[in-house]
Amino acid sequence: MIRLTKFSDYGIVLMTHFASRPLSASHKAPDVAAETGLPLPMVSKVLKTLAKQQLLVSHRGVKGGYSPAKPARQITVRDIIGALEGPIAITECIEHESPDCNIEQLCPVRGNWVRINQAVEQALDGITLEDMAQPLAETAFVKFGGVVRAPH
């Protein structure tokens, strides 16, 4: 099963929370944790990592906190996952040679895994934080390769 870690899942939730607020607003970790219902230690860790990766800006002082480094339309889901987990790689051999694989040089499906990995990257690049901040209609559904929205 392909599944995001809680770290990335929470990162997307937190960045979506920021996207639904004014860009210039600064938010403290305890407030964000309370508003999202996520545990404060994890929120603090995710926010620090996102700031280190330059998706958030950290503000010091009494009115300090965190704010997005750029508008939500300029941040993709891939950016967030990449900042928290590193490069997207469906299989271990996609990003680098795997010491655990005895057949990597002869692998008949490696090229197809590269193709699948590229499709996943493109799909995640096609969804911005601005998109994530807009709830989908209940009649919307997801298909491979992108989100299909219900007609307005």
In a 10 Å sphere around its CB, with 0-12 CB exposed, 13-18 middle and 19+ buried, how is residue 111 labelled? exposed
Give per-residue pLDDT as tens, 30-42: 999 999 999 999 9
Instruction: Work out whether the CA dihedral 145, 139, 5, 54 comes out positive or negative.
Output: positive
Overall fold of domain 6-148 = Arc Repressor Mutant, subunit A (1.10.10)
* Amino acid, single-letter form, for residue 39: P
Q: What is the pTM of this model?
A: 0.81
**pLDDT per residue as tens digits for the range 95-108:** 665 556 676 667 88
Which DSSP string corresponds to 19-85? HTS-TT--B-HHHHHHHHT--HHHHHHHHHHHHHTTSEEEE-STT-EEEESS-GGG-BHHHHHHHHH
